[in-house]
Structure formats: structure tokens, C-alpha cells
Amino acid sequence: MEEIKISKIIRSKRKTIALVLTHDATLVIRAPLKTPVDYLEKLVNEKRAWIRTKLLEIKSRPKLKAKEFVNGESFFCLGKSYKLKIVDSCGVDIELKDNLLLSLEKVPYARDVVITWYKSVAEKKIKERCEWYASLTGYKPLSIKITVAQKRWGSSGPKGTVNFSWRLIMAPLEIIDYVIVHELVHLEQRDHSRLFWDKVKSIMPDFKKRQKWLKDNERTLSI
């Protein structure tokens, strides 16, 4: 029988243990600081039937086709799907109107051009929303950065920084807002304790619905 491997153990001041199966079928464990590794391995062994079932579900999902950057291909921005349209010239490398317009001369570099465009939109919109929620909640970061992170939607640093992956700009605004609130609360509450989630809920009562949407749809937010 195939052994179940722990890909990563994330320790924090949390009081409970969480087994997390990522979209790429790896097992991550979130655990209290001093939890022995052998205890975690024992827990994984006890939960192996459940873990295997979940891993099979993840692996059986149809694989998403890599973007080809051709006419008619769909790209998400703020939760809305736009068709790519390659044009002789639109005055700029790329522009969002009713369609996502890409200059013909930039087609050989389409992936880089599209990612650069996503980053610029994220830089403006995500920072704008983060500043709004910071003002609303009083959790004010020292800096807001847009990153190229592939494994995380957001993160926060001990020195008061909050970071967001440019890929987040593909999600609907209410999902972006959830990730922002999540990271802002981390500025005060570093772990995922009951107190942390209570603070998130006080700001965003329906956060669980948004959290579930992100978990269910994260695979589609990529190019």
C-alpha cells in the first residue's frame, strides 16, 4: 500500500492540528509549535483512509489545459470572463474592453504581456481594497505588495507587511476582499486560532462561503 507522505509541516501558536490537502494533491499539516513529528505521523496513519479518499478525488479532477493565447480563449479578471482578441494594433500592448485585446506584434510574448497586465491591475485594485479595509478595521499594514507567489493567495509578515499574489485579481471582488481581511487580521493575530476566526467573522460574517468558493475554484485562477 502506497505510503502517505507529509509534504510540509507548518508550526504556529495554534492549539489544534489541521490536515490540509492542496489542489496539487500534497499533504500539509498545520500544528502547534511543540507537536512531535512522530505524533503527527501517527495521526496521518490513523486518518489514512480519509486522506486517500480525498487524494483520489483531487487526482481524478480533469487537468486544466495550459493557455495557448489564441483568439477566443477566456481569461478571468475580477471574476468576469473575457475573450482574448488579437488585433493589428490597439495603441498599447494589451487592453481590456469588451474583450481582452492583445496587439499582434506581442503574440510571441503573450504570456509575459498578459501577466504584466494582470500585475498592473492587481497593483491598483488590490491595494485600493486593502487600504479601504485597513481604514475600516484599524489593521493598517506598513506596506502592501503584489507578488508572484504560486502557492499562497496572500501572506503577512511580522514587520507589518501584507502580500498578495497577482493571480488573486482573477477572482471575484468578494473573494479578493476575503483574502485581504484574512491577511489584515493576521497583523494582530498571527495564528489560526478561534480568536483569529472570530475577528475575521466580525468583519465579514459570510467569510466561510467566500473561503469555500476559493477552495473550490482556485484551480481556475491560473494561466
Mean pLDDT, range 123-134, rounded to an integer: 97
> How far out from the chain centre does Cα 4 lie?
25
Q: Report H helices in 187-223.
A: 194-203, 207-217
pTM (two decimals): 0.81
List, by residue range, all CATH 3.30.2010.10 domains of the chain: 74-220
Cβ contact 84:73 at 8 Å: yes
Q: Report H helices in 165-206.
A: 173-186, 194-203
DSSP secondary structure, 93-147, as one string: SEEESSSEEEEGGGGGGHHHHHHHHHHHHHHHHHHHHHHHHHHHHS---SEEEEE
- Return the percentage of the chain with pLDDT > 90, whole number: 74
Q: How confident is the model at residue 173 (pLDDT cuts 50, 70, 90)?
A: very high
In this predicted structure, the answer to whether residue 1 has a pLDDT above a threshold of 60 is no
Cell 494561466: give the residue.
Answer: 223
Mean pLDDT, range 92-116, rounded to an integer: 95
Taking only the tens place, the pLDDT of each residue in 58-90 is 888 777 788 999 999 999 999 999 999 999 977
Q: How confident is the model at residue 2 (pLDDT cuts 50, 70, 90)?
A: low
Residues, the chain: 223
Cα gap 194→206, rounded to integer Å:
16
Provide the pLDDT for residue 65. Answer: 82
- Give the type of residue at 144: I
Better pLDDT: 53 or 89: 53
Provide the pLDDT for residue 59. Answer: 82
Task: Residue 67: name the closest of 24, 121, 118, 23 by CA.
Answer: 118
The CATH superfamily holding the domain 74-220 is: Metalloproteases ("zincins"), catalytic domain (3.30.2010.10)
Cα gap 194→16, rounded to integer Å:
10
Cα gap 148→162, rounded to integer Å:
14
